[in-house]
Structure 1
Amino acid sequence: MIIKDLFINFCIISTFLFFGNALFRSVRNNQHINPLILKISTGIFLGIFGLVQMQFTFKLDNGTLLDLRQIPIIVATVLGGGLTGIITTILISIGRLWFSTSITLVSFFGIANACITFVVAYFVFRAQLSFQRKWLITALLSTLNSLLFFLIWTGFSKGITLLLFMVVLFSSFIFTCVLIERLRRYNQIYDAMSKEVQFDFLTGLYNYRGFMYKYNQLSQEKKIPFSLLLLDIDYFKMINDQYGHSAGDAVLAQFAEVLHNSVRSYDYCFRKGGEEFAIILEYVEEQAEAIRWAETIRKNVEEYKFVIPDGRTVSLTVSLGIGFYPLYSCEELLDKTDRALYEAKKGGRNQFGIAR
């Protein structure tokens, strides 16, 4: 029976952590989600995880019921920090009282055990140790903490009962550690692959694939107004011809920095290819505001001294096209903005044109 209960609990742990990780990964890079809301939501999610685990208990041979409520508390504290851990601990403590047929001293032992688990996890994971060591120390201390409450309540039980208690609890901690470590490695690989697919290796900006992904995403949402800026470095071919391609690469990398520093932290900068760039300014739909941003970028590029590998400096200018959504549908916005960029270049460069 104990093997069956252990298997069920391992399945619950795996399910919650797998789907929780998938959900967290899908929202963590969304710049419109408040980090505080994310921490609170994570705490609630893991609190529910703990409440579910409390329904699948292990029955030891002396009649004592054991559950794994400490695991979601530790996971919440490790992944979300103190606030997330506190929310999970509070939900589990309320659940402990709610599910009790009667409130007794053992109910408060359970709440105290949950609170101590949170404190242990919080302070251990602030130490300068490897993730595995911190988790191992937390697992040992939490097991000993639970064992202490177990002995206070039941007295000294049979040796086999105590051994079973420690094995079930500690093995569950280790299983969770291994699972989280695997998920962390998976996330690292996923992030590396996503970056390679959507980012330009030279400038660090989103590449053309990243541009189309974000542009299509906005067009599907149809809720967020934005301005689209298309940019061309004026006479960039002369840099390559006069100073060489290594100089051109150095200039492109610095140009990307100028763009990144000229807009808001949550705006999107792209290198579409060669010397062609794009910027998406969300919630900028007024023409005057978009013009101010375009003029800021133009001036910053014009005033910047680009350093090439031999130490010399060169100056650049940039031409821009400005388009607006929802003034134009996403289907026609790209073409109209590109035409505005062409007009800016045709009119003498180092200026911007507006989509019409």
Structure 2
Amino acid sequence: MFELNRRTLTSAVAGLFASTVLGAFATVANAADPIRVAGYGGVTWDLITKNFLTPLGERTGLEVKLETDPSVAKLKAMVASGRCDFDVIELSGSEFLIATRDGLLQEIDYSVADPDNVMPDFAKQKTGFLFVTFSEILVYRADHFPNGGPQNMADLWNVEAFPGPRTLHDTPVANLEFALLADGVAKENIYNVLGTDEGVDRAFAKLDEIKPHVVKFWSAGAEPIQLIAEGEAYMGVAWNGRIKVMQDEGVDAVMVWQDSNTDSSYYGIPVGCDNKNAAETYLSAWANPEWVANWANDIPYPGFVAGLMENLDPQVAANMPTNPDNAAKSFLTDWAFWGQNRENLEERWIEWLLE
């Protein structure tokens, strides 16, 4: 298996700009059995349906249903019970490391999942298909800040200069990093600091400062968008694609790329699920250059097919986490750190929320 850490994601981001050749998409074998994908609903699933499931169904007959709220905990419980509640699961990089370590995923046959070999090698792990990149970034309502809103994480924490309710993601991942950035740690030193007990304590101490001003710690990607659109939160962090859709719908919201994080998601096929060929057929949709380009033009979550960036509208490319200007302001989530520390830090996060 390839080493999964910041170097892998750096290569992935660079690969989106360096690749220039598009492969042809081969028609996959018909798949009559429906599959269930554990992923995220709302506008994201609507656009997956539009850009992937509809043409894939027309081409192969495959029916795909959504199971919401994917998690390693849910995957572990399912595999341990011998059930197959879903045939494919979306996992972050660190979650994928945990699932692989614990033997929860099957090996993927890339002759089915990437029949024309248009995906780069780093995206084709033995048990995981790296299919999309996204960022969690600062967003604020412009009408609440006529003189300019927060421009970095230090500003998000500055409740005197930028008053109003906030919203943050209900997870330690990225929030601990955001807290350290707000406390003056340079992005290149985040994981050196966070790798110590003192650094973790420092991050939680900084989170103590903002906690009273957080109206909601969100779990579903639609929640911060709704909070900001309806004025319940003036600012917060949300996924870049969701923010772009909100802007397109007329909400006067501003994305701030400074101090954002960049992460990626894998698809995996759980151990104990027999509908493997159909699951791999679903994965193959994300190796179709035309479909991935259509998807990325609708929502700025780029995939990894070769030559993608050349097939995007320049205004769309400007909102991508892989855009060089945006990437320069961002930090890459360290999968190795979170793969090793996620479970312990999630326990501490839950305890902190209850304090």
Q: TM-score, structure 1 length as denominator? A: 0.22
User: Higher relative contact order at CA 8 Å, sep ≥6: structure 1 or structure 2?
Assistant: 2
The answer to which structure has the higher strand fraction is 2
